[in-house]
Structure 1
Amino acid sequence: MANHGTIHTRMLRGLIIGLCLCTGLADAAINKGHAIAMHGEPLYPADFKHFRYTNPEAPKGGSLRLHVVGSFDSLNPFVPKGRPAAGMGATDNSHLYDSLTVRGEDEPFTQYGLLAKTIEWPEDRSWVRYHLNDKATFSDGHPVRAEDVAWTFKTLLDKGHPFYSFYYAEVKEVEVNDPLTVTFRFDKDSVNKELPLIIGQLPILPKHIWADKEFEKAGMTIPVGSGPYRVASADPGKKIVYQRRDDYWAKDLPVMKGRNNFDTISYDYYLDANVALEAFKGGNYDWRNENNSKEWATSYKGPAFSKGIIKTESVTHHNPWGAQGFLFNLRKPLFEDIVLRKAIGFAFDFEWSNNNLFYGQYKRNRSYFENSDMAATGLPSEAELALLEPFREQLPAAVFDKEYQPPKSDGSGRPRENLREAQQLLKAAGYQFRDGNLFSPAGKPVTFEIMLGSPAFERIVLPFSRNLKALGITAKVVTIDSAQYVERIRNFEFDMVVGRIGQSSSPGNEQKEYWSSEAAKHPGSRNTIGIQNPVVDALVDKIIAAPDREALINSCKALDRVLQWNYYSVLNWYTDQHRIAYQSRLRHPDFGKYVGGDTSLDTWWDSTAK
């Protein structure tokens, strides 16, 4: 006869084994780890020591002095009011605010835990759960907890910039599971596989600080964050200084090794770009990314450069450029006509501009996903056609059987053949040319304003305006101060502007903010052009729902073709080089594949620091 204790022990062991097997089956579809990739696996394993594009031996100390042209009157970058100071950061990579995760800069799109020690999500990505690091604290010593995450999210959606409500529209609810665990659940119909990654980019704010304050007000109250720096001083419109925190909780984490090396980072404000450049050459600040080709070709000379006091460097990057162009405001009745938009494009002489204004430094921008594998080239592939075919009746025929190429000229500055073609288009559409002026089919003069926020663009836009005049179109170039410019852009009070629509290596949810019909209606959104096109909306949904990298690329190419052939802008130019100049005491590691415009300044260091 068997011993009852032995029988009970065997039964207990069997029950435990059974429970373990059941748990294993239940958890088989749940992922949990240190990072989450949009497609495929993270580049860095769980036990990685530091990112390859950082130098863990970089010395701490010294200073980094930067500049800004413009002004500021707020230390709250999260609301659509005021002009926030540089470095505040309303997204990840802020000096002040840590986010749940940080991006790996040498892979398409992977987020690694920062405030979140681990990330948990199901195979269908219908929710994401963040387990916070119990060592995370704000700069006042208060611990970062799940309630801060939930409060931040709800507050930004209710009172923050419209960007947040678009970006996170498909989040259904936020649950605080325990003090260190928070779960975001998504709409049951959501096909957005990017949500678990972009939720992680959320900068986390301290609930206990804001509890008795009006969050929606822009102001100069010194903020409290959990990031590597704190605000040391702020003089509105003139200067802001950040001080590195010796007690920063995450300084030894692998994702932060070799980063945030300067003791102080300051931003000096200038009202004039030319004055700012001369101040740099005089040693008044340390680093600049030059976006003016003329200045790069002619101004970075003199004793400071020949003696090696200031270094210059052209850094090749693989970042998608997106699109820069003369952007139409489709909210204006004048620009509802696709024929007029197309004709206006013939007046821009890129070849002349590049040779005479840009010193041959630029390439023609012909795609809204320029400098990437997502740019539409050649004829549509079978996969692209499968996406486009359901909308054939709503699209220009050229989308299906032609490769988009912007007009080319002989570089003379007077593109007569192009202007002649534009005149023929306009005449066929019922436009009339009388007494040197163009009139619409309704008999109204074709005239509009090109609004600029910097006089530096006048030399580029004025030749375009003169060519338009040859078509009988009056395009008045108006330059206004930066504060007024920002406000008018925010409220869509313009006819045409020079603008850039940036892209990432993994487009996703932000495409709604750029192109969607809904975003076009909301002041402050990034749908500057005002596109309200159901085909564009449908293709944006395809991008967001793309199950893999190949589907993402095909969806972007299909969208690109629709944007190209609708002539929503007169595409300008781009470069795959970052042109940087800096004081010779500064050093940087080898850059990652996707080098940002600031060339990852948080990985630089001061060689004179001890």
Structure 2
Amino acid sequence: MADLDKEPLEGKLRRSFLKQAGAGAMVGATVGLAGCVGGNGEGNGGNGNGTGNGTGDDPDVDDEDKFGGTLRVGIRQDWTTLFPMQHAREPSRVQENQVAPTLARYDADAVSLRPGAAESWEYVDDDETQLRVELKEGMEFHKGYGEATAEDLVWTINTLLDEGFGGGWTKRFMFPVPPFEGAEEVDEYTFDIITEDHYAPLQVGLLTNISVISSEAAEEMGYEEFAATPVSVGPYEVVDVDMGARAEMEKFEDGLPADEIGYAGPAYADRIEFEVVPDATSRLEMVQTGELNVATYAPYNEVDRLMEDDNVTLKMRPSWSFDWIYIGGEQGTEEYREALDDREVRRAIGTAINREAYVNNTFFGHGVPDDDPFSESLSQNLVTQDDDRDTYDFDIFPVEGDPDQAQQMLEDAGWPDMELELTHMNTSDATRGAEVLQQVLSDAGLEINLRAVDGATHSDIESEGQYDLLLSRISWLSPDPEQGFNWFENPEQSNLNSMGYHNEQVDELLNQSRTERDRAQREEIVREGFEMGLADAPWVFLGHLETPRVLANATHMDRDLFYPQAQMLDLTDVYTV
């Protein structure tokens, strides 16, 4: 086994393989998201010396030879925190997942939950308001903070509800108005999550998005230090960080094996180094010169070529992510606030957009144009899904767009001439998408000015409502429809609704869906509510992307490194030879 810290990554040293993860191959814990996945699908190829794209474990490598070395990972954007559950942006999530396991994992292949850091969970009352969770024993915290116990999870859940250390995106995207009374410790490894009423999304939503963190470390270190070097029980711990640019992790030997707490396999690499390389061309060059082993995205314009490259394994998968436009932020251009509050104006914008042109130009055809947030893959996994229906599908707007009809709708609404600003991230595919939108909306008589911003600024603009139109990307964190449904909740209850949208009928259906215990009844409520909210068009949906992943220098790969939700990355069973 070559020491990758001392020897250059040339030729034979740059082959990465994946150990078979078994029937329970890793899938989503998030979640993304929601998480917000904003930005650019980019990444890299490689030039290993294998025999071509393939699957399965390498038969010539003994198990003992898989351990050791350093994995160097290129990611595309900066980040502001590594505090689990604080931020849904992908750069944070892909790193946090190596450090902090969640209580449960969602297995998209099996369409079911499976244990992560939790051993088991069950309701202990007939009304299903008291969910008892038993933790796995022997999970040791990084940095000598002792064993994880129920006390840590009770602290995490209760502070999450109070928007303390454990708040952030989990509170914002998953449970903006949770009917929780709180968490209570039962014994050293057991705790109860107590709700005011039955809460249908609780298991699939909460258990897959609550990470195990040390309450003692979080309180002792304070937010800033903990956000840089979080303390959890995962297979790797952060040992050095330049926030937003670079993070170094070392394998943690004192806890339970990674495959016993929800990961795909044992942690092979001794060290993982994450580095931000925002430029796609530079990342490609770094892979080709051996400076990177793994990169998280391939550029869409390179996908077809990389698919034919025998020296790279490129995984394409339908993700749970989609692109959408926020319409009429509460702090947007004052002159047009009234117009963008008008349902017919928003519907005109939705009618004008040619989603086929958007997908073809933004993702070079590697996506599916759609006017709702439900990809086929997500629909098949939704917990409310009726077995007799293939997908959740809502035909609200013409996929190919109709600018003439849209222009007439704007004239009928009394707003035929508007000059609006479209904000987007400064990544290559977001820029391409924004230019398509600028063109198709101009065909409907709208003058669109483009504003490109970095990821952190984009997130602030979204949350503060400082936009006329905002192009964004998000991924489902959970296959429970609650996450997407609660986007439409009135702004006094939902932090994601930064345009001030409010429909009392949608709110009522949302509240009904949260407490309905009959699956078929709940599905009907969800479908009715979504159709109503989508027709109101506070957001306009554009399409679902296929996500190109590259395991650099790889010639064998038997699973995708990513979960379908929120672009979660699992590097535990990756090894170099």
* TM tier, smaller: 0.7 to 0.9
Is structure 2 residue 476 aligned with structure 1 residue 503?
A: yes
CA distance in 1, matches of 2:90, 2:432: 27
AA paired with 2:407? Q
Name the structure 2 match of 1:516.
489
SS of the residue corresponding to residue 525 of structure 2 reads helix
Name the structure 1 match of 2:507.
537
After superposition, the C-alpha distances for 1:59-118 in whole angstroms (9 at most, x for unaligned) are 4434432222332354434557999855453xxxx2222333333342334142524456
Name the structure 1 match of 2:422.
450
Normalising by structure 1, what TM-score? 0.71
Name the structure 2 match of 1:19.
none
CA distance in 2, matches of 1:502, 1:246: 33
Name the structure 2 match of 1:362.
367
In structure 2, relative to structure 1, the CA distance for the partners of 1:277 and 1:569 (3 Å cut) is farther
Unaligned runs of 5+ in 1: 1-48, 376-380, 385-398, 410-417, 433-437, 439-445
Is structure 2 residue 151 aligned with structure 1 residue 147?
A: yes
AA paired with 2:342? D
Name the structure 1 match of 2:140.
137
Q: What is the number of equivalent residue pairs in this alignment?
A: 499
SS of the residue corresponding to residue 376 of structure 2 reads coil
Aligned counterpart in structure 2 of residue 579 of structure 1, from 548, 551, 562 = 548
CA distance in 1, matches of 2:415, 2:230: 57
CA distance in 2, matches of 1:422, 1:274: 39
After superposition, the C-alpha distances for 1:145-164 in whole angstroms (9 at most, x for unaligned) are 22212222222333143544
Aligned counterpart in structure 2 of residue 567 of structure 1, from 512, 537, 556 = 537
SS of the residue corresponding to residue 191 of structure 1 reads coil
Measured on the aligned residues, the alpha-carbon RMSD in Å equals 3.8
Q: For 1:334-483, what aligned pairs fall within 5 Å after superposition?
A: 334-354=339-359, 358-372=363-377, 374=379, 403-408=395-400, 418-432=402-416, 438=417, 446-456=418-428, 457-483=430-456
Tell me how far 1:257 sits from its aligned partner.
6.3
Tell me how far 1:349 sits from its aligned partner.
2.8
Q: Is the 8 A contact 2:425 2:458 kept in 1?
A: yes
Normalising by structure 2, what TM-score? 0.74
Q: Is the 8 A contact 2:180 2:194 kept in 1?
A: yes
After superposition, the C-alpha distances for 1:3-59 in whole angstroms (9 at most, x for unaligned) are xxxxxxxxxxxxxxxxxxxxxxxxxxxxxxxxxxxxxxxxxxxxxx96432799974
After superposition, the C-alpha distances for 1:479-522 in whole angstroms (9 at most, x for unaligned) are 1233322322232222212123433663244346522114666x
Q: For 1:266-277, what aligned pairs fall within 5 Å after superposition?
A: 266-277=273-284
CA distance in 1, matches of 2:122, 2:249: 30
AA paired with 1:459? R
Structure 1 stretches of 4+ with a deviation exceeding 6 A read: 54-58, 80-84
In structure 2, relative to structure 1, the CA distance for the partners of 1:528 and 1:290 (3 Å cut) is farther
Name the structure 1 match of 2:325.
326
Q: For 1:7-18, what aligned pairs fall within 5 Å after superposition?
A: none
Is structure 2 residue 226 aligned with structure 1 residue 227?
A: no
CA distance in 2, matches of 1:255, 1:485: 33
Q: Is the 8 A contact 2:138 2:255 kept in 1?
A: no
Tell me how far 1:229 sits from its aligned partner.
0.9
The structure with the largest alpha-carbon Rg is 1
SS of the residue corresponding to residue 156 of structure 2 reads helix
CA distance in 2, matches of 1:598, 1:569: 22
In structure 2, relative to structure 1, the CA distance for the partners of 1:208 and 1:275 (3 Å cut) is same
After superposition, the C-alpha distances for 1:287-307 in whole angstroms (9 at most, x for unaligned) are 345465324246x49xxx75x
CA distance in 1, matches of 2:510, 2:343: 21
In structure 2, relative to structure 1, the CA distance for the partners of 1:261 and 1:548 (3 Å cut) is farther
CA distance in 1, matches of 2:566, 2:88: 25
Q: Is the 8 A contact 2:323 2:542 kept in 1?
A: yes
In structure 2, relative to structure 1, the CA distance for the partners of 1:154 and 1:248 (3 Å cut) is same
Tell me how far 1:449 sits from its aligned partner.
0.9
CA distance in 2, matches of 1:586, 1:121: 49
Unaligned runs of 5+ in 2: 1-20, 27-55, 381-385
Tell me how far 1:125 sits from its aligned partner.
1.9
Tell me how far 1:535 sits from its aligned partner.
2.2
CA distance in 1, matches of 2:567, 2:516: 30
After superposition, the C-alpha distances for 1:254-304 in whole angstroms (9 at most, x for unaligned) are 844624443322211124344334433443323345465324246x49xxx
In structure 2, relative to structure 1, the CA distance for the partners of 1:109 and 1:584 (3 Å cut) is same
SS of the residue corresponding to residue 102 of structure 1 reads strand
Name the structure 1 match of 2:52.
none
Tell me how far 1:181 sits from its aligned partner.
2.3
Q: Percent identity?
A: 18
Tell me how far 1:243 sits from its aligned partner.
1.4
Q: Is the 8 A contact 2:475 2:566 kept in 1?
A: no
In structure 2, relative to structure 1, the CA distance for the partners of 1:557 and 1:150 (3 Å cut) is same
